[in-house]
Structure 1
Amino acid sequence: MATIKAIVEKSALAGPRSIKISDEATFSLPAGDVFLPAEAAARVMQAYGQAVNEKVLVGMVFPARDEGGWGAVLSFAKEGYVRDDDAQNWKADDLLHRMRVLQAQSNPVRKSHGVPELDVEGWAQPPTYDTTMHRVMWATISHKQGEPDDDAHRYVNYETVALGRDGHLLLGVASHLAAFNQSKIIADGLLADIDFDNGKHYADFDKTTDHVAEYGLAALVVGVAAKKLGLLAVFLAFVAKFAKIGVALPFAAAAIRRRFKKRVPARPVAAVTTDRQEPR
C-alpha cells in the first residue's frame, strides 16, 4: 500500500485543470476531483489485479476525499468511426445475456489471480442511445461471488460511451448500488466536462477518407461492459484505502459537497428498443 500511496502522491493532479486527451478531446477536471494520469493509473489498477489496456487508458478520476465511494476510469479507443445503425434494433435482454456469458468466461482468470468472481445480476439502467449527442449510457448490477446476497454487497458500473470521428471515449463510474443515483449524477457531470476538439465530433465523419470500426454499437456496448465489470473491485477498494492513506490534497469536504450540488443530470433521452428490465 505504501507503493500505491507514493504513486498517488507523486502523480495525482488536482482540479480544476484542463486535461488533454490525445489530439481528440479535452477534459475539464472540476475542483474537488483528482486525476491520475495513464501510467500511474495503470500501476494502481494492476496492483489490484486488474488487466489494463495501456493503449486506450487516459487515466482515473476520483474524489479528493472519500465522501462518495466512487471512482471513474477514462479511456479513448482510436479504433475508427462506430456506425450506430443497429442501435434501433438491439434488445436489452440479449445484450445482458451476452455480458453474462463473457463474464462467466472471464471468471476463471479472475479466480487464478485471487480476485473475486463476479455475477452480472441485471440492469440498474438499460442501455439508451442519444442520437443527437451520439452517446450510449447503461448501468449493470454485479455481485461478488461468496459475499452476502443483499443490496449492501451489490455494485453498479455506470458506463457512458461518447462517439467521435476517429473513435470513442469511455467513461465508467463504479459505486455501491445504494449510491447509484449519486454516481449517475457524477458520471453525467464528468461527461459534460469532456468535449471533442473541432473536427473530431461524430458529425465530422468523412466517408471518403475516414476509417470505420469493424464493429457496431451493440458489439461495442457488450465489449466495453465485459472489460469494465472488473473495475468496480479496483475502484471501490482503491477509494476506500486512499481515504485512509491521508494523501495531502488541498480540498475541504465542503467544497466537494458544493461541487455535487452543482452537478445536474444530463437531459433525458429516449431509450432504444429494449425488453423488460431485469429484476434486481
Structure 2
Amino acid sequence: MRKITFLLLLFINTSIYAQQEIDTLSFNLEQYQKTMDSIDNSFNYGYGKIILGDNLAELNVPEGFKFLDGIQAQRVLTDLWGNPPSTSLGMLLPEDMTPMHDNFTYAVEIIYSEEGYIDDDDADDIDYSDLLLEMQNDAVAENEERVRLGYPEIEIVGWASEPYYDAENKKLHWAKELKFEDTEVNTLNYNIRILGRKGYLNLNAIGDINILDTFNKDRENILKSVEFTSGNRYSDFNPDIDEVAAYGIGSLVAGKILAKAGFFAVILKFWKFIAIGAVGMFGAFKKKLFGGGNDKDA
C-alpha cells in the first residue's frame, strides 16, 4: 500500500493522472489489458534513416529497434510515465518492446543539450575512482531535497560500467548502478554522450540492473547509430564564433545525479502501479494524442 500511496501522490503532484484513488481489489483486468493494448497500438514507429531536430543529427535506427519521434516520446515520458515536461528528440525501443509492456526492459531517450563546445583535453587525466566517490557524496547530500519533494532516497552503488571516452569519434559512455530505498532490485542508469560543435546529444537508458548484459550487447549498435550532421560536428567548431562550455569531460560525467533520470527510474520501479493508473487517464491521453494537428516534431 505504501507504493500505491506514493504513486497516487506523484500523480496528484504532477497533474498527470486522474485525481482519484484506485481500488486495486476491484480492478477490472480485462479493461486493464484492453486499455494497455489501445495505448500501445496508438504509436507510430519509425525505421531506417531519421533526421533529429532541425537537421541537427542523423539516426539510423539499429536492427532490432524502433523509433518514436519527439512528440510521441514526450507524451510517453510525461503523460504515461509521469516525468517532468521536457523536449525530447525521440526514443529508441527494442523491437519487441512497447511503452506499456508488462515486462518492460528499457528504452533510450534522446535529447540535445546546447551548452557549448566541450573541451576534451582533460579526458586522459580523470581518476574515475575519485570521481565516483565525489558523486556518491553528492548523492547523499541531495537526498534531503529529494525526500522533501516526496521522492525516495537514492544511493550510487558504483560503476556498472566505468566511463570510457572514444576520442576519435567523440563519444563518451558510462553506467551507474543505483539503489532506491525500499526496492529489492537495483537500477541501471546507462549514459551515452555524443559531443558536437555547440553541445552534446544525450542518450539515456534506464532499466533494472539485470538488463546490463542485454544493453552491453546492444550498446555498440546504438553508439554507431547516431551522428551529428555536417556543420554540427565536433570538428566543425569555430573558436572565433562558437562558445565553449564551462566544464570538461569529468564534469559531464559527474553531472547532477538525477535531474531527470531519477524520475525515469522511479517510474520503472513502480511500473505495475503506473500501468494501472494509466487506465484511468487514457481518455485524456487519447484526446491529446489524436486531438488537434498543430504539434511539430522536436
Cα offsets for 1:222-260 (capped at 9, x unmatched):
116543541333356669978xx9xxxxxxxxxxxxxxx
| 2:161 match | 125
Q: 1:58 aligned to 2:86?
A: no
The alignment-based identity, stated in percent, is: 27
| 1:170 match | 202
One-letter amino acid matched to 1:50: N
Post-superposition offset of 1:52? 4.5
Would you say how many aligned residue pairs link Structure 1 and Structure 2? 241
**Structure 1 residues 236 and 173: alpha-carbon distance in aligned structure 2, compared to 1, 3 A threshold:** farther
| 1:181 match | 213
Post-superposition offset of 1:118? 1.6
**Structure 1 residues 58 and 106: alpha-carbon distance in aligned structure 2, compared to 1, 3 A threshold:** farther
C-alpha separation between the residues in 1 aligned to 2:146 and 2:36?
A: 21
Residue from 187, 196, 205 that aligns with 2:228: 196
Cα offsets for 1:42-87 (capped at 9, x unmatched):
3433354433542xx3122222424771211111112211011121
Structure 2 stretches lacking a partner, 5+ long: 1-16, 18-31, 98-102, 279-298
Compare CA radii of gyration and give the structure with the larger one: 2
C-alpha separation between the residues in 1 aligned to 2:203 and 2:47?
A: 18
TM-score, normalisation: structure 2: 0.68
**Structure 1 residues 241 and 32: alpha-carbon distance in aligned structure 2, compared to 1, 3 A threshold:** farther
**Structure 1 residues 193 and 176: alpha-carbon distance in aligned structure 2, compared to 1, 3 A threshold:** same
TM-score, normalisation: structure 1: 0.72
| 2:183 match | 147
C-alpha separation between the residues in 2 aligned to 1:156 and 1:209?
A: 39
One-letter amino acid matched to 1:179: I
C-alpha separation between the residues in 1 aligned to 2:220 and 2:258?
A: 21
Cα offsets for 1:115-167 (capped at 9, x unmatched):
4332110011111211111111111111111123xxxx122111111111121
C-alpha separation between the residues in 1 aligned to 2:206 and 2:108?
A: 6
Higher relative contact order (CA 8 A, sep 6+): 1
Q: 1:73 aligned to 2:73?
A: no
C-alpha separation between the residues in 2 aligned to 1:203 and 1:98?
A: 31
- SS of the residue 1:35 aligns to: strand
Post-superposition offset of 1:197? 0.8
* 1:94-133 equivalent positions in 2, closer than 5 A: 94-112=130-148, 114-133=150-169
Residue from 230, 234, 259 that aligns with 2:267: 234
C-alpha separation between the residues in 2 aligned to 1:46 and 1:65?
A: 22
C-alpha separation between the residues in 1 aligned to 2:82 and 2:223?
A: 27
**Structure 1 residues 196 and 34: alpha-carbon distance in aligned structure 2, compared to 1, 3 A threshold:** same
